[in-house]
Amino acid sequence: MSVVAADGTCHTAAPQSAGRAAAGAVLLVGAPNVGKSALFNRLTGSYAAVSNYPGTSVEVARGVMRTGDTTWDVLDTPGLYSLLPTTEEERVTQRIVLDGAADVLVHVIDAKNLERMLPLTLQLVELGRPLVVALNMMDEAERLDIRIDVPLLARRLGVQVVPVVAVSGRGLDELRQAVTAAEGHGAAVVPAYGNGAGQAVNRIADAMDSGGVRLRDHVQARIDRIDVRALAALALQGDNEARARLQQVAPLLDMDHLIAGTAAQLDGPPAYRMAFERRRAAQQMLDGVVAAGRGQRAPWVDGLGRLLARPATGLPVLAVVLYLGLYRFVGEFGAGFMVDAIEGILFENLLNPFFESVFAFVPWEWLRALFVGEFGVLTLGLRYAVAIILPVVGAFFLFFSVLEDTGYFPRLALLVDRAFKRIGLSGRAVIPMVLGFACTTMATMVTRTLETRRERLLATVLLALAVPCSAQLGVIIAILAGAPAALAVWTGVLVGSFLLVGLVTARLMPGAPATFHMELPPLRLPRPGNVLTKTYTRMHWYFVEVLPLFLLASVLLWIGDLTGGLGVVLSVLTPVVHALELPSDTATVFLFGFFRRDYGAAGLFEMSQQGLLSLRQLTVAAVTLTLFVPCVAQFLMMMKERGTRAALAVAAFVTPFAFGTGWLLNIVLRTAGW
> pLDDT of 159-189, one tens digit each?
999 999 988 888 999 999 999 888 777 666 6
Q: Per-residue pLDDT for 616 more than 90?
A: yes
- What is the DSSP code (8-state) at residue 69? T
Would you place residue 221 in the very low, low, confident or very high pLDDT band (cuts 50, 70, 90)? Answer: very low
The single-letter code of the amino acid at 635 is F
The pLDDT score that the predictor gives to residue 515 is 66
Higher-pLDDT residue of 266, 371: 371
The pLDDT score that the predictor gives to residue 216 is 43
Give the span between the Cα atoms of 576 and 646, in whole angstroms: 25
- Burial, 581: exposed, middle or buried (Cβ in 10 Å; 0-12, 13-18, 19+)? middle
- What is the DSSP code (8-state) at residue 449? G
Give the span between the Cα atoms of 627 and 655, in whole angstroms: 8
pTM above 0.85, yes or no: no
Q: What is the mean pLDDT of the chain?
A: 80
Nearest CA to 71 out of 36, 52, 47 is that of 47
Read off the pLDDT of residues 524-543 as tens digits, 9 standing for 90 and up.
778 787 788 778 877 877 77
Q: Give the range among 5-19, 258-272, 495-509 with minimum mean pLDDT.
A: 5-19
Q: Per-residue pLDDT for 554 more than 70?
A: yes
Alpha-helical segments (H) within 286-376: 299-308, 311-322, 339, 352-358, 365-372
Read off the pLDDT of residues 138-154 as tens digits, 9 standing for 90 and up.
988 888 788 899 999 99
Contact 50, 57 (CB under 8 A): no
Q: Per-residue pLDDT for 109 more than 90?
A: yes
Mean pLDDT of 292-304: 63
Highest mean pLDDT among 22-31, 88-97, 494-503, 596-605: 494-503
- What is the DSSP code (8-state) at residue 388? I
The pLDDT score that the predictor gives to residue 1 is 31
Q: Give the range among 79-93, 457-471, 494-508, 594-608 with minimum mean pLDDT.
A: 594-608
Give the span between the Cα atoms of 504 and 632, in whole angstroms: 26
Mean pLDDT of 399-417: 83
The pLDDT score that the predictor gives to residue 657 is 93
Contact 222, 263 (CB under 8 A): no
Contact 545, 538 (CB under 8 A): no
The pLDDT score that the predictor gives to residue 302 is 66
The pLDDT score that the predictor gives to residue 575 is 92
User: What is the percentage of the chain residues whose pLDDT exceeds 90?
Assistant: 13
Q: Per-residue pLDDT for 520 more than 60?
A: yes
- Strands 70-76 and 104-110, by their bridges, are unpaired
Would you place residue 328 in the very low, low, confident or very high pLDDT band (cuts 50, 70, 90)? Answer: confident
Q: Per-residue pLDDT for 588 more than 90?
A: no
Higher-pLDDT residue of 595, 429: 429
The pLDDT score that the predictor gives to residue 9 is 29
Spatial neighbors of 313 by CB under 8 A, at least 6 apart, are 307
Would you place residue 11 in the very low, low, confident or very high pLDDT band (cuts 50, 70, 90)? Answer: very low
The pLDDT score that the predictor gives to residue 7 is 30
Higher-pLDDT residue of 167, 457: 457
Alpha-helical segments (H) within 100-192: 114-126, 138-143, 150-157, 172-182
Q: With b meaning 16 or more CB within 10 Å and e meaning fewer, what string describes 639-673?
A: eebbeeebbeebeebbbebbbebbeebbeebeeee
Mean pLDDT of 442-465: 82
CA dihedral 528, 341, 597, 450 (to 10 degrees): 10
Q: Per-residue pLDDT for 314 more than 80?
A: yes
Mean pLDDT of 462-467: 88
Give the span between the Cα atoms of 586 and 630, in whole angstroms: 17
Question: Could you please report the per-residue DSSP string of 49-63?
Answer: EEEEPTTSS-EEEEE
Chain centroid, CA 612 distance in Å: 40
Number of helices and strands (H, E) in the chain?
31, 9
Q: Is 631 helix (H, G, I), strand (E, B) or coil?
A: coil
Contact 471, 80 (CB under 8 A): no
Radius of gyration of the chain (CA): 28
The pLDDT score that the predictor gives to residue 217 is 46
Q: Is 643 helix (H, G, I), strand (E, B) or coil?
A: coil
CA dihedral 237, 238, 243, 244 (to 10 degrees): -150
Read off the pLDDT of residues 427-452 as tens digits, 9 standing for 90 and up.
878 878 877 776 777 788 778 778 77
Strand residues in 247-355 grouped as ranges (E) = 290-292
